[in-house]
Amino acid sequence: MERPERWQEAKDILYSALEMEPGPRAYFLDERCGDDLELRKEIESLIAAHSEAGGRLESPAIELMAESVVNRDNDDLIGGLLGNYQVIEMLGGGGMGEVFLARDTRLDRRAAIKLLPDSLTSNNQTKQRFTQEAKAASALNHPNIITIYEIASHNGHDFIAMEYVEGETIRDLLERGRIDTRRAIEFCAQAASGIAAAHEAGIIHRDIKPENLMVTRSSQLKILDFGLAKLVERRPSLGDSHLPTVDYPRSNELVVTVPGTILGTVAYMSPEQAEGRPLDSRTDIFSLGVVFYEMITGKRPFDGKSAIDTLHSIINSEPPPARDLNVNLPIEVEDLLAKSLAKDLSERYQHAGDFELDLRRFKRGLESGSLPSVRNMPHSSVGKNSISPLWWLAPGTVLLGAIVLWAYITSDRMVTSPPATAPSLAQMTLSPLTIDPGFEGEPTFAPDGQTIAYVSDRTGNFEIFLRQISGGPDINLTNNPADDMQPSISPDGKQVAFVSSRSGVSDCLCFFIYGTDQPLMGGAIWVMPALGGSPRKIVETGTFPSWSPDGGSLIFSKGPWYGQSIYKVPSNGGEPQEIALNLKKAAPFIAYPSYSPEGSHILFEAANNIFVVSSNGGDARLVVEGKHPVWSADGSSIFYTNVEAGRNYTLWQAPFSIQEGKLVGEPSPLTVGRGRDTQPAVSRDGKLIAFSALDVSFNLESVLFDAESAKIQDSPRPLTSGSDLIYFFSTPDNAETAVFDSHRGASSFIWKVDETSPSVQLTSDPKFDDYFPQISPDGRTIAFNRHPPDQPEAPDDLWFMEADGANPRLVMEKAGFVGWMPDGRSFTYYSFGDGQLYLYDLQSKSAKQITNEEGVYAKGIPSPDGKWVAFMSIATGNMDIRAVPIEGGESISVVATSRQDFHPVFSPSGKWLYFQLDHKNIYRVPGPAQAWRKSEPEKVTDFPESGLFLENPQISSNGRKLIYSKRRTGGDIWLLTLNK
Amino acid sequence: MDEHGQLHITQLLLDWSEGNRSALERLTPLVYGELHRLAHHYMNRERSGHTLQTSALVNEAFVRLVDQKNVKWNNRAHFFAIAAQMMRRILVDYARSHLYAKRGAGAIHVSLDQATLVSNEPSAEVTALDEALTRLESIDPQQARVVELRFFGGLTIKETAEAMGISVDMVKREWSTAKAWLYREMSHPVDGTT
């Protein structure tokens, strides 16, 4: 059948025949083919072939080939290296790309590698948006969000390396049927907790679905793929008019960016997503509601025959009542579902935290049998709308900062009875007392239990305000241009003691350096009438005042910058007396002393540990690791902030015996710590606990300036953002990239960032805290300090690694704080053995002592000509700056103000030495290229000083940029009500 | 794909569509990466249960390759035709090399028997279809174009009709009968009349 005209003839007959049933077909063929047997045979063989072919050839070729192409690509990857990762096996494919199990060759740990489809990252703009988003997502540090290690590219493959979690997805669980209600609530609450944290950081997931929720063996839920959905959503449109267009149904088109491809799994979309309206964080709440419904009923609330059907149902239909599908569900669940699946945004939960709280209350009620429906009446007799509002859905509760917990960490305890001293969940409510932007913290109760004094920076500086818990206007008690902080109300309620910088610059409120909540310290202690009046200065220098139970005296902490003691002073003034402490191990930074209710003992914090001592002083006893302790009203327990690894700055309560001077039971958590929950205060009747949920970050900023003229030429630009806590960093080039340390979670690790890419994590061994990274002048080697986190007193070791984090290696024990010499062939370091600076030559591998004096404060900074080393010294008790010739000898004093002089750094010409006063503004004095000419410090930056904290300023090698880490502090006060 | 590469590809495509065969030789390696991208895209969508329109994907791949600003397609049919031809070329090349890698040099000229078809080897199926389609071209060019648009371009019946400017019924007719013809060719490739 090779002749075209012959085929045209055959085709006509064949097509008609194919449309017919076999009977008529034979008849038809008899008629049409007549005697042409060859044609008849031809047609019959074609009909046979057609029926054999069946559905073959109906799938486009690319569909047939896709799997084989992909498998071959993946086969090529397995066993090979993808950046620093050795690919072991394929774990699966997801909406966002194939996932592989891999081993991180640098850190020898397992990681999951997600390959991003090229099609999603091939467009530069899309890719840039993606990296921004992924960078933000990678900064999320929450137990219910999978940790992203890095986002990188290798041989054209863009990939994300993340925490490898063994477990199953909620989808896997659902495939075995619906999930036990209590487990489902727990999973959903955990997911809500993670989502709430992300929302707080400004990140929306957009694709919450069972496939993206993973459950570990220990029933911890982890949310996957944060920030990735946006990558798909924001693809460029193919809007050119001459391009082919294809008609698609309207409801589909709106969620489509490339014609014909529906994004996201439609069943979990929110109505606003289905309609293509703008999204905010509430879209995730809806999607989680859909997952919750499916978990407890085994069915999806919106399910159509096709994607379009499903979308239509999401937009227009109410889901069947969950109890129709699972009769064991209590009626209260309908209310949870109604509030999470509300189509109207204003009727939906406004915050994922509210959803979490309601879920936890619901679970608690379910377990204790105290749900109204369970308690009062059988299920069947309860009308659908008969209970509203439900008592356990505290109306109007806004939850941003922290969440009452219990079941979260110790779900077993829920079943048995809670410990005697710990308030049970049903007896606690949590509500915010302040919701203002900025900082609100340091609450303290008046004896009436109804009035709180607290600190706010809403006026532009720190002031002490009074507020009635029941409402009413705030009273600005201090109302003064100076900073006023750390209020403490006297036991009779008539006076307020506080710390103020009002008497002059020497009383500057500086930041307390230890730990990340870093309250201010310094200043003078003042006392004023609680209802307003003239303050009186009681103590010239002191911080953290606290009243004795009889109101006759105040205790406070005071001392040189490094090494305070506790003092006592009569509340009407007088000479402070030291309460001599005997601490078994050195513990600087004594803070928050407070008397026990009967006055026999004092509780205080020193370097992240809580101690107790007799009020007459003597041997102090370590109570527990933690911060900011206070006594309960009756002294039978203490409240404190838990800073252990993984505890995330949560508020805890621990039973305490004053007689025995120690804990007499297990500590238990009170909050989950969305913020840094700290600074607790207890009302006299013991029923209320106020605390602050702080939000603290340190991020890098750079500003254009001229190191010679000291002129600032621009406004600062952020180099990092998010929840970083960056203290030290270095830049090899002109601040195009920076390596920095960051406490994102419990540990400090080293990261690298440049102006266009997301941060990349270079170290991640949980056995170490890594900090103070110093990159060599050629940009190839990073020197850093390494420290075991569980041994605060142990000296650091000095390590090197490559600039990309490869090959970490121990260089020297008991050493650290490297200062690279300009030629990169030698460096200065600090010896933890004798507390001196040394010069180490990399070629001869020999060290030479530089300093020989007391009080050298760790880091040495070589001058640009390599002839001097500047360093900080605490020899006088104050922080001063000195310099010593590189070949050793007597050091000279460079800066010695009455304040704390920090962080010297040379201008590239060596003409100037820049430094900071009190971690605040930056100043400079003449440097070695001006023969250390004596001159008053010249102020370089002019940041408002209230609340200002800059760390570790650096100057780029071309002298055009000033880079520093800047602290931001926000916080709100929360009230925990114990309904005993 | 930088702008230079895009222009280069555009020129090659235009040369090719004007009958310059050597342009195609130079084109194929340049667009090979697009096949991988497309395949991964396809699989990712597939696995996650997202619905998907192949024509949109193919178009998208094509649009990314070609500098749209500097090329004026005569009409939509022209655009679709070029896209489908290019897909055909890339896919068939890939399938051949895949089979070659699998079976060794002797199998470049695949003559497909029923067993191979049933064994569901997509590379073999695509290669065999390409060979059969080449034969169909010589006796019925319009029908071959329908197949090319449908099978390689991923167009639906309706899209094919629009692209070719013929009726939907006509496309159905061409498609249905071509399937029979091609399948028979693929199953019994050597019928002696060649």
Residues within 8 A of B (CB atoms), A 515-534 only: none
Rounded to whole angstroms, the Cα distance separating A604 from B60 reads 66
A373 vs A721 pLDDT, higher one? A721
Q: Do A151 and A131 form a contact (C-beta atoms < 8 A)?
A: yes
Backbone phi, psi, residue A799, to 5°: -120, 155
A705 near A962, Cβ under 8 Å?
yes
pLDDT of residue B78: 72
Minimum distance, in Å, between the CA of residue B22 and any CA atom of chain A: 24
Best-predicted range by mean pLDDT (A182-191, A353-362, A427-436): A182-191
What's the pLDDT score for residue A393?
A: 31
Best mutation site among A65, A241, A252, A311 for testing chain B: the one with the most B CBs within 10 Å?
A65
Q: What's the pLDDT tens digit per position in A173-216?
A: 998 889 999 899 999 999 999 999 888 877 888 889 998 899 98
- Reference A724, options A740, A736, A738; nearest CA is A740
CB contact under 8 A, B36 and A73: yes
pLDDT of A385 strictly over 50? no
pLDDT, tens only, A870-879: 999 988 877 8
**Which position has the higher pLDDT, A371 or B82?**
B82
Residue B162 has pLDDT above 60, yes or no: yes
Q: Which of B79, B125, B180 sits opposite A14 (nearest CB)?
A: B180
Highest mean pLDDT among A132-146, A503-517, B171-185: B171-185
Q: Which of A296-300, A319-323, A326-330 has the lowest mean pLDDT?
A: A326-330
**Tally of residues, chain A:** 980
A3 touches chain B (CB under 8 A): yes
Q: Is A252 exposed, middle or buried (0-12, 13-18, 19+ CB in 10 A)?
A: buried
pLDDT score, position A368: 73
Q: Are A97 and B63 in contact (CB < 8 Å)?
A: no
Query: If you search the block for the tokens 């003042």, which residue do you land on?
Result: A526
Percent of chain A with pLDDT over 90: 37
Share the mean pLDDT of chain A.
80
Instruction: Please name the member of A7, A72, A122 whose beta carbon is closest to the beta carbon of B64.
Output: A122
Q: What's the pTM value of the predicted model, to 2 decimals?
A: 0.50
Chain B hits for A260, CB-CB cut-off 8 Å, are 51-53, 55-56
Cβ partners under 8 Å of residue B120, min gap 6:
none
Query: Is 90 exceeded by the pLDDT of residue A360?
Result: no
pLDDT band at A727 (very low <50, low <70, confident <90, very high): confident
Please tell me which of the candidates B44, B184, B187 has its beta carbon nearest to residue A97. Answer: B44
CB A753 within 8 A of CB A730: no
List of residues 6+ apart from A738 with CB closer than 8 A: A700, A719, A729, A730, A731, A752, A753, A754, A963
Least trusted range by pLDDT, from A188-197, A542-551, A664-673, A957-966: A664-673
The answer to whether A50 contacts chain B (CB < 8 Å) is yes
Residues 81-110 of A with CB under 8 A from B: 93-98
Which residues sit opposite A819 in a β-bridge?
A828
Residue A321 has pLDDT above 90, yes or no: yes
Average pLDDT for residues A374-379, to the nearest whole number? 40
Helix %, strand %, coil % for chain B, to 5?
80, 0, 20
Chain A residue nearest residue B88, CA to CA:
A61
Q: Specify the pLDDT at position A227.
A: 62
Q: Quick check: A119 and B39 CB within 8 A? A: no
Q: What is the pLDDT of residue B120?
A: 57
When mean pLDDT is compared over A193-207, A837-851, B89-103, the highest value belongs to: A837-851
Calculate mean pLDDT across residues A939-956: 87
Chain B residues closer than 8 Å to A243 by CB: 59, 63, 68, 79
* CB within 8 Å: B39 and A18: no
Average pLDDT score over chain B: 72
Which CA distances in Å does A119 have to A159, A431, B41? 13, 47, 6
pLDDT at A249 over 80: no
> Per the CB < 8 Å rule, is B55 touching A52?
no
State how far residue B37 is from chain A, nearest Cα, in angstroms. Answer: 5
Q: What tokens appear for A485 in the block?
A: 């902080």
Chain B residues with CB under 8 Å of A57 CB are 129, 151, 179, 182-183
> Which of A85-99, A328-342, A348-362, A438-452 shows the lowest per-residue confidence on average (mean pLDDT)?
A85-99
| Residue A952 pLDDT greater than 70, yes or no | yes
CB A628, CB A679: distance < 8 Å: yes
- Mark yes or no for CB contact B43/A93 under 8 Å: yes
A118:B72 CB<8 A: no
Residue A443 tokens, joined: 């609450």
- Residues in chain A with CB shorter than 8 Å from the CB of B49 are 265
Cα distance between residue A484 and residue A575, in whole Å:
22
Q: Higher confidence at residue B76 or residue B12?
A: B12
Could B40 and A73 be called an inter-chain contact, meaning their C-beta atoms sit closer than 8 Å? yes
- Region A296-323: mean pLDDT is 84
State yes or no: pLDDT of A425 exceeds 50. no
Residue A261 — very low, low, confident or very high, per pLDDT cuts 50/70/90? very low
Res. A397: pLDDT tops 80 = no
- DSSP-based three-state secondary structure for A310: helix
| Choice between A906 and B194, residue whose per-residue pLDDT is larger | A906
* Residue with the larger pLDDT of the pair A344 and B193: A344
Residue labelled with tokens 């978990």? A295
Count of C-beta atoms within a 10 Å radius of residue A369: 8
The predicted model gives A457-475 an average pLDDT of 85
pLDDT tens digits, one per residue of A269-289: 898 887 777 788 999 999 999
Residue A59 three-state SS: coil
A224 vs B: CB within 8 A: no
> Do the Cβ atoms of A557 and A566 come closer than 8 Å?
yes
Give chain B positions within 8 Å (CB) of A240. 68
Alpha carbons A975 and A633: distance in angstroms, whole number: 16
Better pLDDT: A610 or A718: A610
Q: Find which of A68-72, A957-961, B68-72, B86-90 is predicted with most confidence, using mean pLDDT.
A: A957-961
> Which of B38, B73, B151 is the closest to A242 by Cβ?
B73
pLDDT of residue B140: 93
The residue with tokens 């279809």 is B129
Contact A262 B38 (CB under 8 A): no
Q: Which residues of A170-204 are buried (b: 16+ CB within 10 A; e: fewer)?
A: beebbeeebbebbbbbbbbbbbbbbbbbbbbbebb
Placement of tokens 């090319």 in the chain: B148
Task: Flag whether residue A304 sits within 8 Å of chain B, measured between CB atoms.
Answer: no
CB A786 within 8 A of CB A770: yes
pLDDT of residue A939: 94
Provide the 3-class DSSP secondary structure of residue B122. helix
Render A800-866 in DSSP notation, one character per residue: EEETTS-S-EEEETTEEEEEE-TTSSEEEEEETTTS-EEEEETTTTEEEE---STTEEEEEEE-TTS
Contacts of A68 in chain B (CB under 8 A): 98, 122-123
Residue among B91, B122, B180 minimizing CB distance to A47: B180
One-letter amino acid at B100 equals Y
CA atoms within 13 A on the CB side of A723: 25
DSSP A101: E
Closest CB to B35: pick one of A47, A69, A260.
Answer: A69
pLDDT band at A420 (very low <50, low <70, confident <90, very high): very low
Q: How far apart are CA A470 and CA A449, in angstroms?
A: 11
* Partners of residue A642 on adjacent β-strands: A650
Whether the bond between A389 and the residue before it is cis, its omega within 30 degrees of 0, is yes
CB atoms within 10 A of CB A166: 9
Nearest CA distance, B7 vs chain A (angstrom): 16
For residues A635 and A645, which has the higher predicted lDDT (pLDDT)? A635
CB contact under 8 A, B54 and A262: no
More confident residue, A130 or A741: A741
What is the C-alpha separation between A851 and A848, in angstroms, rounded? 10
B43/A70 touch (CB, cutoff 8 Å), yes or no: yes
Q: How far is A104 from chain B (nearest CA, A)?
A: 24
Measured in angstroms, the CA of B24 and the nearest CA of chain A are apart by 19
Average pLDDT (A724-749) is: 78
**Quick one: how many helices (H) and strands (E) in chain B?**
9, 0
Distance from CA of B129 to the nearest CA of A (A): 9
Q: At residue A727, what is the residue type?
A: Y
CB pairs under 8 A between A and B: 201
Instruction: Say yes or no to pLDDT of A581 above 80.
Output: yes
Predicted confidence band of residue B86 (pLDDT cuts 50, 70, 90): confident
3-state secondary structure A718-745: ECCCCCCEEEEEECCCCCCEEEEEEECC
What is the C-alpha separation between A279 and A132, in angstroms, rounded?
18
Of all residues in chain B, the one with the smallest CA distance to A99 is B44
Using an 8 Å Cβ cutoff, are A688 and A682 in contact?
A: yes
Q: What is the arithmetic mean of pLDDT over A424-448?
A: 76
* C-alpha–C-alpha distance, residues A673 and B170, integer Å: 68
Q: Is the pLDDT of residue A409 over 60?
A: no
